[in-house]
Structure 1
Amino acid sequence: MGKNFILDTNVLLHDPDAILKFDDNTVIITFEVLEELDNFKKDVTDLGANARRAIQRIDQLRSGGDLKNGIRLPNGGVLKVMPGYFDNTLVDAGLRDSRQTGHRLLGLACQLQQNTSKPAILVTKNINLRLKADALGIVSADYKETADVTQNGYTGYQELEVSSETLANLRADGSVTLEGHRFYPNECLLLRDKEGNRLLARIADEEGHVAVRIPHFGDGILGIEPRNLAQSFAFECLLNDDIKLVTLQGRAGTGKTLLAVAAGLYKVIEEDRYHKLLVARPTMPMGRDIGFIPGDVDEKLRPWMKPIYDAVDLLQEIDRRSRKRRLPPDLLESKELDIEPLTYIRGRSIPHQYIIIDEAQNLSPLEVKTIITRVGNGTKIVLTGDPEQIDNPYLNTTSNGFIHVVNKFKDQAIAAHITFLKGERSPLAEAAANLL
């Protein structure tokens, strides 16, 4: 029988191709949603780009038929465009603004529910609108493409009890085949026997059976030593040139950005493996924006990029106190380090660089795809993010681009993921993260 899915504007702003992702059901776009997309299309942000792409997608599909009566979609579904609806049912419920798009979507859902045999489902990322729909007896749903990695339990590493012989072989040969087990490529392991002996390892084959020993990092990387198991695993993935994509997930204070910057500078300056370390992050404020910032481009951007500068400053301070200095004193002005907003990455091809994208949870799946497809030959890219700390009002813990990448790449041999569970910034910061 199929279903009628009524899409809110925020769904198309989140994913311009959402129209094609409802299988063989009917997808309905209202005139009001088209008007809102038209208002967004002039926006210079990614919302404007997504609005333009959604409009173009609908226009392309229009060549296949009549939008009023329905156009057959490639996946077997149908696309219709029709006006929203408003009647006394909504007025009686206290929703008196007949011009509000959300109310007209609710009215249309009520009308379809009463006059057609197909179930009507309102798809919106607006929680308040979903609450209103539920109160009116209308079925509603959030638009989700992926599941939260923290919900399916994948952290990128696990503990496994093995025989003493297995540990001995790993210690002697540097690798061992784990019979009867299958892991994700580059998944990290804490292997222990009944006597309490332990070794760290990483899965090194696509089939998920062969584990290689993770070396001890000695004095750390540029003075940064791993303080817990996850940080040791992170360094292994960050420093391995065969792993082209690394995702680091964790709350504030777990060391994601600092470890990534330290590893990137080490690979660029110490090993000369990459031409440059490029660090970027979205210019997304926390709370209310402070408005106009005076100065040139660098001065305007510095507040947005301050966490990156803080990490670099800490590494330079550690380097100044070490017996053997490894970082150039003019690091921030050198050609080996480039700190910039994500806006400057679009449209480029970036070869032979170590790229770090900080705060990637504030990016949509489409934005993350745009960034990763910029990666050229010989480039490694690291995404750091905390899905519980999203400042983008159109994203949540399950729909953000960071989690999208984790789920799509976790079975790929060129990618690795590590979740940080313990904060290392300070006891106060860790307590605040857990209690507040």
Structure 2
Amino acid sequence: MDKVYVLDTNVLLQDPNAIYSFDTNEIVIPAVVLEEVDSKKRYMDEIGRNARQVSRMIDGFRERGKLHESIPLENGGTLRIELNHRSFQYLQDKFVEKTNDNRILAVALNLFLEEGKMKSGRTVILVSKDALVRVKADAMGIQAEDFLSDRVVEFNQIYTGYEERYVDGELLKSFFEHHFIDQKQLKGRPLYPNQYVILKDPLQSSSSGIGKVDMNGKRIEKTAMETEYMWGIGPRNVQQRMALDLLVRKDIPLVTLVGKAGTGKTLLAMAAGLMQTEDLNQYKKLFIARPIVPVGKDIGFLPGEKEEKLRPWMQPIFDNLEYLFNVKKTGELEKILSGIGSIQVEALTYIRGRSLPDQFIIIDEAQNLTKHEVKTILTRVGEGSKIVLLGDPQQIDHPYLDEYTNGLTYVVEKFKEQPLSGHVKLEKGERSLLARIAADLL
């Protein structure tokens, strides 16, 4: 053991199994971390669930020995609950307030100074998801790291769902004539099932074609949209064309769409859902839901019945419905929805335990879901249903998630090799010129 890892509370609340991610080194959990975990275990959300799991896990370790000494782990490392090294003597001149973060820093600093006095002293590393805690540690001369083991993808390598490939003019001509080519005829790494390919002739910049890898991953077939417009909505760019192709395919029950604000994710999905539910009767119901995660300060409790409480959270969905139904008057949308009966707008809070067969399911703002929550949602999907996950991984409102650890990115990366799923990253904003510039500049 040549390293000592001091874990912050947020690491355990993000991933209760984080203690097994540090090989054969020593894991130190400050006593104040247990207090913070204890304060969260009554929460009825993902944080509370993880806090309870951490509590049970540490309680189970008591059978192996005394927690304040050293407990062997299955991976060869050890775990210790640190009850000493809490002195503020070396920290109080720098950070006066005895906050929980500073208490964790004090433990790391005292261990760092103690190991430094030994001839074979080990490296002490503070692991935290809190950027300011890492900054403070660095200012004190302590090595600090972010917890990266929960990331499903490395920086800037999130799967986009399509690629551009330059091909010989004769091959492109064959593609247009026969409507497919063999993937082996393309240079470069193999493509995933249902991945789109923009084929270009390097000698003729205006000559290009759009194809999609078949479910077996062997052929690249020419995409042919059965309908260009649905409920007055049509594709404005090549990525939206790819998205609509996925949204109307009955043989692809899982679709993920990511993109910045204004790229048309929600509007396209709802238009496709309405067409297949109301016009074609392919599904019995259009089910639309989104997680209740506030942007900025929470507005607290809301008055009224359940529908009245949910209305502010679901308003972005109703805005899109008003646009699709061409609503002009206040209250007109409610009359339309009550008359149709096959459109359900709900909060994800109530989805656990349900089964959703023969439905077109849209989950908006899926980037605010954890891995466990998105698993819960996908396991609710019944026979004959299609589910669409939408979101922007760069707009995370959840305190313990980021672009590379959220549930939406998790699904995109885990399902990219599966023939029953399809994914597209929408690049260009189409809401308005102002919205597009704001998304790019801000």
Instruction: Please report the TM-score for the alignment, with normalisation by the length of structure 1.
Output: 0.90
Q: Shift of the alpha carbon at 1:79?
A: 2.2
1:119 aligns with 2:120: no
How far apart, CA to CA, are the structure 1 residues paired with 2:12 and 2:132? 18
How far apart, CA to CA, are the structure 2 residues paired with 1:311 and 1:22? 46
The aligned residue for residue 370 of structure 1 is 376
How far apart, CA to CA, are the structure 1 residues paired with 2:64 and 2:283? 48
Match of 1:204 among 214, 217, 223: 214
The one-letter code of the counterpart of 1:189 is V
The one-letter code of the counterpart of 2:223 is I
Any idea what the Cα deviations from partners look like across 1:370-410, whole Å, max 9, x if unmatched? 22232233332221111221222222222222222222222
The one-letter code of the counterpart of 1:273 is Q
Q: 1:76 to 1:175 in 2, by over 3 A?
A: farther
* Aligned partner of residue 303 in structure 1, secondary structure: helix
Match of 1:215 among 218, 221, 224: 224
The aligned residue for residue 109 of structure 2 is 110
1:253-402 matched pairs, under 5 angstroms: 253-317=262-326, 330-331=336-337, 334-402=340-408
The one-letter code of the counterpart of 1:216 is M
Q: Shift of the alpha carbon at 1:157?
A: 0.9
How far apart, CA to CA, are the structure 2 residues paired with 1:136 and 1:15? 27
The aligned residue for residue 157 of structure 1 is 162
CA contact (8 A) 2:87 2:106 kept: yes
Match of 1:175 among 149, 162, 180: 180
* Aligned partner of residue 212 in structure 2, secondary structure: strand
Any idea what the Cα deviations from partners look like across 1:108-143, whole Å, max 9, x if unmatched? 212222334332211111111111000001111122
1:56 aligns with 2:62: no
Any idea what the Cα deviations from partners look like across 1:268-317, whole Å, max 9, x if unmatched? 22333333221111111222233332221101101101111111221112
- Large movers: runs of 4+ above 4 Å: 147-150
Q: Shift of the alpha carbon at 1:76?
A: 2.9
The one-letter code of the counterpart of 1:200 is I
Q: Shift of the alpha carbon at 1:218?
A: 4.3
1:237 aligns with 2:241: no
The one-letter code of the counterpart of 2:105 is L
Q: Shift of the alpha carbon at 1:59?
A: 2.5
Larger deviation, residues 208-217 vs 249-258: 208-217
How far apart, CA to CA, are the structure 1 residues paired with 2:242 and 2:12? 38
CA contact (8 A) 1:250 1:386 kept: yes
How far apart, CA to CA, are the structure 1 residues paired with 2:154 and 2:339? 38
Q: 1:175 to 1:126 in 2, by over 3 A?
A: same
Match of 2:411 among 405, 414, 418: 405
How far apart, CA to CA, are the structure 1 residues paired with 2:24 and 2:230? 53
The aligned residue for residue 322 of structure 1 is none
Extract unaligned runs of 5+ from structure 1.
319-326
The one-letter code of the counterpart of 1:158 is E
Q: Shift of the alpha carbon at 1:197?
A: 2.9
Q: 1:413 to 1:134 in 2, by over 3 A?
A: same
Extract unaligned runs of 5+ from structure 2.
116-120, 328-332
The aligned residue for residue 428 of structure 2 is 422
The one-letter code of the counterpart of 2:387 is I
Q: 1:242 to 1:24 in 2, by over 3 A?
A: farther
How far apart, CA to CA, are the structure 1 residues paired with 2:414 and 2:257? 15
CA contact (8 A) 2:225 2:245 kept: no
Larger deviation, residues 382-391 vs 75-84: 75-84
The one-letter code of the counterpart of 1:53 is Q
The aligned residue for residue 198 of structure 2 is 190
> Pairwise CA RMSD of aligned residues?
2.5
How far apart, CA to CA, are the structure 2 residues paired with 1:378 and 1:77? 47
The aligned residue for residue 330 of structure 2 is none
1:141 aligns with 2:149: no
1:87 aligns with 2:88: yes
CA contact (8 A) 1:277 1:338 kept: yes
How far apart, CA to CA, are the structure 1 residues paired with 2:335 and 2:222? 35
Any idea what the Cα deviations from partners look like across 1:307-344, whole Å, max 9, x if unmatched? 111112211129xxxxxxxx998345544221111111
* Aligned partner of residue 6 in structure 1, secondary structure: strand
Identity %: 44
Q: Shift of the alpha carbon at 1:349?
A: 3.0
* Aligned partner of residue 156 in structure 2, secondary structure: helix
1:26 aligns with 2:23: no
1:132 aligns with 2:132: no
Instruction: Please report the TM-score for the alignment, with normalisation by the length of structure 2.
Output: 0.89
How far apart, CA to CA, are the structure 2 residues paired with 1:385 and 1:149? 19
* Aligned partner of residue 303 in structure 2, secondary structure: coil
CA contact (8 A) 1:361 1:403 kept: yes
CA contact (8 A) 1:41 1:51 kept: yes
